[in-house]
Amino acid sequence: MSTHLDGNMLGGALGELFTVDITAATGRCAFCGTVSAIAQTHVYTDAPGVVARCPGCSGVMLRLARGPGRAWLDLSGITCLQLALPNGP
Amino acid sequence: MAGTAVLGRLTWRVSTVTSVRDETATARTIALNVPGWPGHRAGQHVDVRLTAADGYSAERSYSIASAPGGDEIELTVQRLADGEVSPYLAQVLAAGDLLELRGPIGGWFVWEPAPAPVLLIAGGSGVVPLMAMIRTRVAAGTGAPFRLVYSVRGPDDALYAAELAERQGADNGLHVAYVYTRSTPPGWPEPPRRIGAAALTTAGWTPDRSPAVFVCGPTGFVETAANLLVSAGHDPRMIKTERFGPSGGQS
């Protein structure tokens, strides 16, 4: 398996899609239930898109592919995201 | 609270290089003016995009080295011999040039000024975002004691060596310890070695102080350091890590 990076590097690409920072959100892995910050996922970039895997079980939590004028985001490996809302009550 | 809330989606901005300065034989700091920069937090990064005349473009992430301050930010770029982006940034780019970037990026690998002790562990150019924390520390005025354990190949590879030495004397509460992996300064008391439990125990905070820990470096370094910290009894929830590497990362 190739060397992985981590979910910190997803901030720019996800920031194109969302107005809150998703890398600081925690996500529950759909395969093993581990809850981790998206920044802590293990990210592999040697694919047409980027693949973020659970640091606990290596299950695929997130896939993101970007094309001209289009993005594909697969979050089927995350059952719940918890986000801090900076200006919320 | 400047920069703590990014209220819109990230978009690309055009910045202007105001100056460049060499940090080592292979690393350079690039000072940029970014009109409308919303501010940033220590530890955040930017994505830089280079576009060729034929439309081919390449993006890389680079940590912000400077403390927040107006429209100015500084990046420090380590040139990789086989890199696609870093040789241009570290050798060709000059004052007056334009550079496309987006940011600030990242809300997790961030030091929020607080009084708790902070342990910083850097491998090579992984020191860059940690330097932003060190530079932010004094302005923040929290009095948080900082310890930096900085692993470098040899003395000539250390980024910010002069500033760190000066700050260690002038910034009350900053302690810096080096780990040399290939060559040591003359008279260094031990042979070159990789980071180990002993270095983290003697130069870092012990777990009973509950330090906030930030580890940044190449993937292998980060995994090793994080495992050592957990073995030493540090709470994994207190350890924040950022890995970089040649593929899509900081090359």
| pLDDT, tens only, B181-214 | 999 999 999 999 999 988 888 888 889 999 999 9
The nearest CA of chain B is from the CA of A55 a distance in Å of 11
Average pLDDT for B131-144: 92
Alpha helix locations (H) across B80-234?
A: 86-87, 127-140, 161-170, 197-203, 219-231
> Hey, which residues does A64 pair with through a beta bridge?
A50, A73
Average pLDDT for A63-70: 93
Q: What share of chain B is helix, strand, coil (3-state, %, to 5)?
A: 25, 30, 45
Query: What pLDDT is recorded for position B7?
Result: 60
DSSP SS3 for B182? coil
Which residues in chain A have Cβ-Cβ distances shorter than 8 Å to B6?
15, 19-21
pTM: 0.94
Residue B89's closest CA among B39, B125, B54, B40?
B125
Among B94-103, B158-167, B171-180, which stretch is predicted with the lowest mean pLDDT? B171-180
DSSP SS3 for B229? helix
Residues counted in chain A: 89
Give the residue from A9, A35, A41 with the most B CB atoms within 10 Å of its CB, the best one to mutate.
A9
Residue B200's closest CA among B231, B169, B174?
B231
Which residues in chain A have Cβ-Cβ distances shorter than 8 Å to B61?
8-9, 12
